[in-house]
Amino acid sequence: MSNISIAPATSGWFYVYGRFLEAVVMSLMVILFLEVMVGVVFRMLGNSLSWYDEVASILLAWLTFYGSALASHKRSHISCPEIVDNFPPRLRKASAILTQCLVIIFFALLTWVGFIIMPILAGDSMTSLTAVPMNLVQSVVPISAAMIVTIELRELIRILRTPAHAVNEQVS
């Protein structure tokens, strides 16, 4: 399993960052639940809301993106620790560094492209709620990607500071 064990931080900016992400994800879950329930009740009463399904799909997308940032913070992403644990220590560390770099590059690119697209979407709005601009709706992509970059940069620094014999990708 794990070669080293690091207790989760209970103070500092990274702890606050994680608690903030948890609050955002929990809030989105509650809002999504309430929004869908209101939509179902109105539909049962014969007065369907024209906007509830579009808002629900957007809330689900936001929940997915911010949930991904939270999963990254908790080191709960998909990996193959059984394979990596069988590597020699130096290869294990090199693999961890390469993995972190690829993740950072991907999400940095997603952040950059997301911010480039924002002005393009400025003139568009939601179909059912025309007062809500589409660039606000799609802002979740570059914002959550930037959050993930921040988290993964911290993890890369941790890996670089850890001796090769103690590196394990599952450690947070």
Q: What is the pLDDT of residues 49-108, one digit of tens each?
A: 888 888 999 999 999 999 999 999 988 877 777 777 788 888 888 888 998 999 999 999
pLDDT value of residue 135: 81
Structure tokens at 35: 């929004």
How many other CB atoms are found less than 10 A from the CB of residue 80? 9
Mean pLDDT computed over 152-162:
91
Nearest Cα residue to 96 out of 39, 166, 34: 166
Report pLDDT digits (tens) over 104-145. Answer: 999 999 999 999 988 888 888 777 777 778 888 888 999 999
- For the entire predicted model, the pTM comes to 0.82
Domain boundaries, the chain: 13-166
**CA atoms of 172 and 158, how far apart (whole Å):** 9
Residue 149 burial (C-beta neighbours within 10 Å; 0-12, 13-18, 19+): buried
Q: What amino acid is encoded at 150 in this protein?
A: T
* Length of the chain (residues): 172
CA 167, 13, 68: angle at the middle one, nearest 5? 65
